[in-house]
Amino acid sequence: MSGLNKEKSFPLVGFPVLLRTFLLGVISAVILFPAMDFIGFYYRLSVSNEKWLLLLAISLSYLIILLCCLALNYIKVITVIKSYRFDLLVIFLSGVFLVYLFAGFYINAFNSLIAKMSWLQLTSLIAIPIIIFLAVTLRVILFHFTNKKEYRESSFMSDKEKKSKEEDGFNFADKAERFAKRVYNHGSPESLVFGIDAPWGTGKSTFINLCKEYWNENYNNKMVIYNFEPLRYENRDVDLLRIFIDGLVKEIKYQVFEPELEVLLSKYAKFIKSTKPSFSFLGLNFQVPFYGISIDDVFSRLEATLLSTNKKVVIIVDDLDRLSFTSIKEVLFVIKKAFSLPNISYVLCYDTENIAAFKQDALDREKIIEFLEKFINIKMNLYLEKDLLLKYFTESKDKALQKSPLIDSELADKAVDGIIDIFNSDDFHLYLSLVGDARKLKRLINTIILLDIDKTDFNNADFNKQDIIHLLLIYINYPDIFRKIYTTETEG
């Protein structure tokens, strides 16, 4: 399992998929045939009673319901059609045909039942789906009109990542485009793990969003993007491998019709954990015995199925460095187990220094970095240039002050001139831990707005703009020291 098979193996259809497709055909036919008889009987009864207008209204209502269902599931329907899975269509029709052969056993009883009903009773039954549809539609319309709230911009800067090139404040767009191309790798099925190593607040999430934007614009029908968020399950007793595979299957199924994937991935995961695989049908979970199948057999079939999808699957794991070191190892274990599967690549976002900080000993730090390098094939570092940081700070400050009409922008400008002096000084490197990334600059701007720095009368104060900025930085980053200064100045 160390690499791709040189010989192209054929993706065999598993028994659970065949059984599920056959049962789906049976259930569909069991519902369809009585429904057709019911509609035919109701049509004849309505014609005999000359209920043409009501019959037309009901027909149009069901047509609208059908069109709405198709519109809501348009992508899924097109995906199934474009899969050209005529083998499953044959199995599905076999289930339908089987019911057709034995339909007489229950159709006659059903027909005798509806024959005893009056036209009004039949109309009430046939109107139930229409009433449900109207109720749901009314709820959507009311929600749309009653929840129209005027959007009010916050006076403070949020810590949300940017979504598009238009919001790119650090000139990441070109670098993100190059990186996105490398990850796509000409559509090669080779499995690779890419790492984005950058400190907190550098813009890793924004960088990833720019990559997604490029993938959606250029490889929309050739890629499947799956965001795996292990941070959501931190400190919870959950099966991370199961969550990972369920999310991956859900994302792939949304864009690719390959029903074998769910069963094969389940088998592969269960082999890793030495438990029985399973598949779900109509909300029920069925255990699938191994019957002498080896992990190599499952891997080969899974490999062939993934290759047949002709889609590059990119799994993004953000905020890896926010997890505990134990959770990080568990996530990397999950990735390692699926590492050599074709058409699947990974993008891991993390800060090496922050992960290494989990261990205090210097030797342990080196071991942790070496540990990460075992999993990551290609690593890219993100850096923020000083000029771009200063530009970002100036523009962000101006936007924030525009959204705060009560603040005197002229006085606030004087208050923040000190930070500009820091950026332009030769000692800037000494302030990197305080103002060296976007998150720290946002926090500084929000603090300026919160504390009404514009109200400070610098002409009659015994400190200048450099002093106020230094005090702000101490206030934000070293509150215990600031308390001592405050106590000394107010009570000393």
pLDDT recorded at residue 462: 60
Q: List domains and CATH numbers for the chain.
A: 15-146 (no CATH), 165-256+309-381 (3.40.50.12060), 386-491 (no CATH)
Name the residue among 120, 88, 119, 97 with its Cα closest to residue 32: 97
Question: Tell me: the pLDDT tens digits for 407-430?
Answer: 656 656 666 777 888 888 888 888
Question: Residue 355 class from Cβ within 10 Å (0-12 exposed, 13-18 middle, 19+ buried)?
Answer: buried
Average pLDDT of the chain to the nearest whole number: 79
Strands in 124-258 per DSSP E: 193-197, 223-228
The stretch 182-202 carries a mean pLDDT of 86
Q: Which two tokens stand for residue 19?
A: 């059984």
3-state secondary structure of 379: strand
Maximum pairwise Cα distance, the chain = 102
Q: Which long-range contacts (CB under 8 A, 24 or more apart) does 82-88 make?
A: 82/257, 83/256, 83/257, 83/258, 85/257, 87/13, 88/13, 88/17, 88/21, 88/259
Under the banding of pLDDT at 50, 70 and 90, the label for residue 466 is confident
Question: Tell me: the pLDDT tens digits for 74-114?
Answer: 878 887 887 778 888 999 999 999 888 887 667 778 888 88
Question: Tell me: the pLDDT tens digits for 189-198?
Answer: 888 889 898 8
Spatial distance between the Cα atoms of 51 and 41, rounded to a whole number of angstroms: 14
Question: Tell me: the pLDDT tens digits for 344-376?
Answer: 889 998 888 777 766 554 446 677 777 777 888
Q: Which two tokens stand for residue 63?
A: 């047509």
Q: Which residue has the higher pLDDT, 159 or 288?
A: 159
Using only C-alpha atoms, the chain has a radius of gyration, in whole angstroms, of: 31
Question: Tell me: the pLDDT tens digits for 316-342?
Answer: 988 887 777 777 877 787 777 665 778
pLDDT recorded at residue 472: 85
Name the H helices within 49-156.
52-72, 74-82, 86-102, 104-115, 119-146
Question: Tell me: the pLDDT tens digits for 114-154?
Answer: 888 888 888 888 899 999 999 999 998 888 887 766 666 67
